[in-house]
Amino acid sequence: MSQHTLIALLQDRPGVLHRTVTLLRRRGFNIASLAVGRSEVPGISRMTLVVDASDATQVVSQLDRLVEVIGVTDVTNEHAVQRETALAKIVASPSRLHQLVDIVAAHGARVLHVGDDEMIVEITDTPERVELFIAFIRPEGLAELMRTGRLAMMRGRTTTRLEAPAHYRDQADGAPHEEVAA
Amino acid sequence: MSLPSSTTSSSPGSSGPTHNATSAPRTGAHRTGAQVMCEALIREGASVMFGIPGGCIMPFYHAMWEYRDALRHVLCRHEQGAGHAAEGYARATGQVGVCIGTSGPGATNLVTPIADAWMDGTPLIAITGQVPSHLLGTDAFQETDITGITVPITKHNFLVTRADELPRVFREAFHIARTGRPGPVLIDITKDAQLARLVPDWDVAMDLPGYRPTGFHPELAHAYGAVPSNADAIEACAALLHAAARPLILAGNGVIQGGATRELRALAEQTGIPVITTLHGLGVMPHDHPLALGMPGMHGWVHVNRAIQQCDVLLNIGSRFDDRVTGKASTFAPHAKVIHVDIDAAEIGKLVRADIGIVSDCRPVLEALAVSLSAATATDATRDRRPWLTEIARMRDDHMPRQGYTRRDRSAPLMPHDVFDAFNANFRDRQDWRVVTDVGQHQMWAAQLIDWSRPRSHITSGGAGTMGFSLPAAMGAAIADPERTVWVIVGDGGFQMTSCELATIAQEGLTNLKIAVINNGYLGMVRQWQQLFEGRRYSGTPLTGPDFSKLAEAHGLRGITVDHADDAVLAIQTAWAQHSCVLIDFRVEREANVFPMVPAGRSIGDMMLTESADASQHDSSPRVASHHATSHHAASPAASPSVSPSAKA
């Protein structure tokens, strides 16, 4: 079964995440990752959802049926920019920590904190490279891992805010509204 | 849909002991949230509500008194009854039904009718009281998270904690309930919001940017056979139908909900394409129309299911390919190009692949197809469909005799089909009736045997299969349309689930409601499965009940008991003529079965037409209710089939 990456625009209201997750659970779709937060338009959230499904048509159309879901786009084959952030705590001897500072930097990770026998690093990269990095640090004493889930954004001037209604956009502090129809 | 504004600005509560001596408030004046709820309902066209009061909904009931001339409240005996009554009202009229419950158990008792309305696409507004907002989340007395509970079974729901949200929320709720594929919407309103005072803004706009009730969704085009627009899909669809040698139309609830009955008949007649109708589509084609074939599926007719398995193009208009229609979906209509017209995009391709999918209301599609096909026939000779119709007629002639129940022995017990024959004798040439059925054997017999000819003349619980639906739903239908007699046809099992509503019927004086209990002393459909597939292990299915005629009489209604086929016609006639609700207790053969039958999960080509020979002996014990009491020791699958479990002490 393959994975599909979907971007959804939601009204920012209490319970909207509950509705989304309840629907996915009850229709039997497995959520691989889910990241949601406020969008550039006040009152509207944007969600990146990764589901395990060979065909995402049902996921898209069922999600789209929710009243508070403004639109859903399957960006799996859209060559979208995809990123994930992970925080990792590594517990190791002071000497090994000292070596690791340079090694994790070579992976593109940032060292956020170094203590006597532990450190916290952050990596923001493609989901594949985040996986590789975690595989690398796991034997080094990975003590705690926190991941954001995948974020995705389509390239080019195409946006996933096409269906955001005018009265929401008007509240967006004069942000430019140049959008190209998909 | 809203009433003239004079209705809301007049003084509905001008008589009677209102809490407010000056009666309902003037336009522009302060009023309570509860008063705003009443006025919002009136503005949305509601005139009847079914419900039960309680602590957290009391402010609404307090306000309701002032508006009672415009808003009739029907006190039910259980919130489930209130919900089904609102469904029956909606199904009879096409308008939104309204039901009310208080917080906690009042709200949870509405869950079953809400789920029922969800499955059958019935427009329903459920209004529930909620604990005051400062107590939300504290497990306060009678607090239940009803918005959380009903998320998967509503189109949408609202928790209102501020009175100034009420005008917008009611407008949005009715809009959502009645547009697109209709369905239930729940509004949960905290007690403090009902009590708060405000000047309502009735011009507030709806805020539903994500709600697109109809129309083509271009992002999903790839799933619908890559047709770029509905117009192109219609052309492709017309071309398929025009070229088809063995086409079929499958018409469902969407044709009735979309008010497209006339257009459907016109298209069938224009093209000569025969029409099969789902349980909820019954009545869209007159039963005696030469192109009307009847119902497909688990208890569909043999020739209908065979026609599906042979057809080369299947136009499904307004039906969602329920598994009771398709049987094993992967073997359904194996030779057909499938065209699926549904107002709900999520239904296209969900269960049966669609070669062409059209997301639309039914009527515009039927109209466009008629135009498109008449252009096609103008340039090209109409395909000769006579061989196909002849083949279907042959299949019907081969199998109808075995499907029928021809009475040969007048001394034989009253068979269920005798009752349905008697109904047809009474229904003939009359338009002033509806039938509301429950769930089980009687429901399938009614669907098969009654001569359906009008849309909305048949109301039942389809998708959810809710036993207990019929009696309260019939109350709603009877109140919605007092000019028509509403016949409840119900099994003795389902009847006992909501029979407390007899008291509501008596209190409301519903003289146009009549009840026929098909009483066989079993939960009959389960018993049938046990007989056919589980070696007659009648576990949990023998059923006793009170004397139903006397139960009706105890409520101040009339009761008739019928034991013989000869009495059935007259009993129905008598009941119909009485200016009272009348219950007829038809004590029928206990182990009659519904055939044809497709075993669950099998292909619809795989039909049983009778019991196997060794299972065909019926219990001939007297069928009086008192005999039903004897329990039966679980018969092993190997037990002699001639042993009548319920007749053994």
Q: Min CA distance, B323 vs chain A (Å)?
A: 16
Please determine, for residue A119, whether its predicted confidence score (pLDDT) is greater than 80: yes
Average of per-residue pLDDT across B199-203: 96
Average of per-residue pLDDT across B460-472: 98
**C-alpha distances in Å from residue B413, one per residue of B489, B586, B597:** 19, 11, 23
* pLDDT attached to residue B312: 97
Closest CA to B65 of B36, B105, B24, B101: B24
Contacts of A67 in chain B (CB under 8 A): 155-156, 176, 208, 210-211
Q: Residue B556: phi, psi to the nearest 5?
A: 85, 15
Report how far residue B155's alpha carbon sits from residue B145's, in angstroms, rounded to the nearest whole number. Answer: 17
Choosing among A61, A66, A68, A154, which should be mutated to test the B contact, i.e. which has the most B CBs within 10 A? A61
- A19 vs B219: CB contact, 8 Å cut-off? no
* pLDDT attached to residue B327: 94
pLDDT tens-place string over residues B289-311: 999 999 999 999 999 999 999 99
* pLDDT attached to residue B510: 98
Instruction: Say if residues A120 and A68 touch (Cβ distance below 8 Å).
Output: no
Compare CB distances from A11 to B210, B220, B222 and report the shortest one's residue.
Answer: B210
* pLDDT attached to residue B379: 67
Please determine, for residue B86, whether its predicted confidence score (pLDDT) is greater than 90: yes
Helices (H) and strands (E) in chain B, counts: 24, 20
Report how far residue B75's alpha carbon sits from residue B67's, in angstroms, rounded to the nearest whole number. Answer: 16
pLDDT tens-place string over residues B542-577: 999 999 999 999 999 999 999 999 999 999 999 999
Compare CB distances from A60 to B152, B210, B220 and report the shortest one's residue.
Answer: B220
Q: Which of residues B584 and B225 earns the better pLDDT score? A: B584
Please determine, for residue B402, whether its predicted confidence score (pLDDT) is greater than 90: no
Instruction: Say if residues A86 and A160 touch (Cβ distance below 8 Å).
Output: no
Report how far residue A158's alpha carbon sits from residue B124's, in angstroms, rounded to the nearest whole number. Answer: 39
Phi-psi region of B601 (alpha: psi -120 to 50; beta: other; left: phi over 0): left
Please determine, for residue B352, whether its predicted confidence score (pLDDT) is greater than 50: yes
Helix (H, G, I), strand (E, B) or coil at B461: coil
- A68 vs B210: CB contact, 8 Å cut-off? yes
pLDDT tens-place string over residues B107-163: 999 999 999 999 999 999 999 999 999 999 999 999 999 999 999 999 999 999 999
Report how far residue B440's alpha carbon sits from residue B492's, in angstroms, rounded to the nearest whole number. Answer: 10
What is the end-to-end Cα distance of chain A in Å, rounded? 27
Average of per-residue pLDDT across A129-135: 96
Compare CB distances from B152 to A26, A60, A67 and report the shortest one's residue.
Answer: A26
- Catalytic residue set of B: 79, 141-142, 191, 525
pLDDT tens-place string over residues A16-66: 999 999 999 999 999 999 999 999 888 999 999 999 988 888 899 999 999
* pLDDT attached to residue B412: 77
* pLDDT attached to residue B649: 30
Please determine, for residue A175, whether its predicted confidence score (pLDDT) is greater than 70: no
Average of per-residue pLDDT across B43-70: 97
- Work out the number of other CB atoms within 10 angstroms of the CB of residue B577: 8
* pLDDT attached to residue B231: 78
Please determine, for residue A159, whether its predicted confidence score (pLDDT) is greater than 90: no
In this structure, what DSSP letter does residue B449 have? H
The token pair at B306 is 């065979």
Please determine, for residue B473, whether its predicted confidence score (pLDDT) is greater than 70: yes
Please determine, for residue B198, whether its predicted confidence score (pLDDT) is greater than 60: yes
Residue type, A86: A
